[in-house]
Amino acid sequence: MPEPVISISETCRERLGYAAAFTPALLDPEIGEPEVIAGPNGKSAKKRYDVYRNNVTVSLINALSDTFPATQRIVGEEFFRAMARLHVRQSPPTSPLLSDYGRDFPDFIEDFEHARNLPYLADVARIERAWLDAYHAADAAPLHGHMLTAIPPETLGQAVFTTHPATRVVRSRFAAVTIFSVNRRNEPFGRVKAGEPEDALVTRPRLEVFVRRLPPGGARFLESLMAGEPFRKAVDAALEEDGDFDLTANISGVIEAGVFTAVMVSEHGDNG
């Protein structure tokens, strides 16, 4: 093996320190503009550097605003942007794909003391984050109902499902699905009982993203199937969580929503 080549001299290395010098003040208003820059002809660079600060912060706040429109509508634009600004400074993106940004924003909202009087807000944000993931997920043809009816009843208990790439389940102790829906539509709405627990199914069987409220036990049923557990085990888990679990309604809902892409029955007995 040849010796590792050091391609850049020490002087050059110093000259490549501009990014390390330029960035710290971008998201921290307490730090003055970097010393490596200047205005032309001896001019000051304060307002000039502020253009970059502003571009960075405002564009990232805008990215959060685009991803979480219902959350913004609930708290109002001014509150939302102030909250988003804090989040942008604490947790700037680590990927150039802004569609991936804001994954930890719902947790940030949950811990944000000024939003404590809106305990459902973080869950609404979780649904919105799931909505964007479903929007950009890989395309796949959903499972046809006849694939399921073709399975002999005696082996159905062992059936294992493949989840559609767009499928997400979001569980909430609050009426997050209803609150999401009415605020996302941007229309006037009546009184919502916020304390009613609601679970969301987010899917995109084709090009349109759907957010539906799952029936009792439905979330547990889906989480079990999505984790690769066999059908019987999923049914048991759902019934254990909620005695009102309606298997027929859940199966037809799951097929209609395109939650899965494939089903497989193992040849060797049911271990579940």
Interacting residues with other proteins (CB under 8 A): 8, 11-13, 15-20, 22-23, 26, 36-41, 43-49, 51-52, 55-56, 59-60, 63, 92-99, 134-140, 165-166, 204, 207
**Cβ nearer to other proteins, comparing 6 with 19:** 19
Q: How far is CA 268 from CA 117, 157, 234, in A?
A: 53, 12, 18
Strands 168-172 and 210-213: unpaired
User: Whole-number minimum distance, CB 144 to other proteins, in Å?
Assistant: 20
Please identify, using beta-carbon distances, which residue of 47 and 185 lies nearer to other proteins.
Answer: 47
Contacts of 192 by beta carbon, 8 Å cutoff, 6+ apart: 175, 178, 179, 182
Nearer to other proteins, 117 or 138 (CB): 138
CB of 152 to other proteins, least distance (A): 31
Length of the chain: 272
For residues 116 and 136, which CB has a smaller minimum distance to other proteins in the complex?
136
Q: Is 238 exposed, middle or buried (0-12, 13-18, 19+ CB in 10 A)?
A: buried
Compute the least distance from the CB of residue 243 to other proteins, in Å. Answer: 38
Least Å distance, CB 212 to other proteins, is 18
Residue 11 vs 271, nearer CB to other proteins: 11
Least distance to other proteins from the beta carbon of 138, Å? 4
- Contact (CB, 8 A) for 267 and 152: no
Residue 223, both tokens: 């989480």
Q: How far apart are CA 92 and CA 35, in angstroms?
A: 23
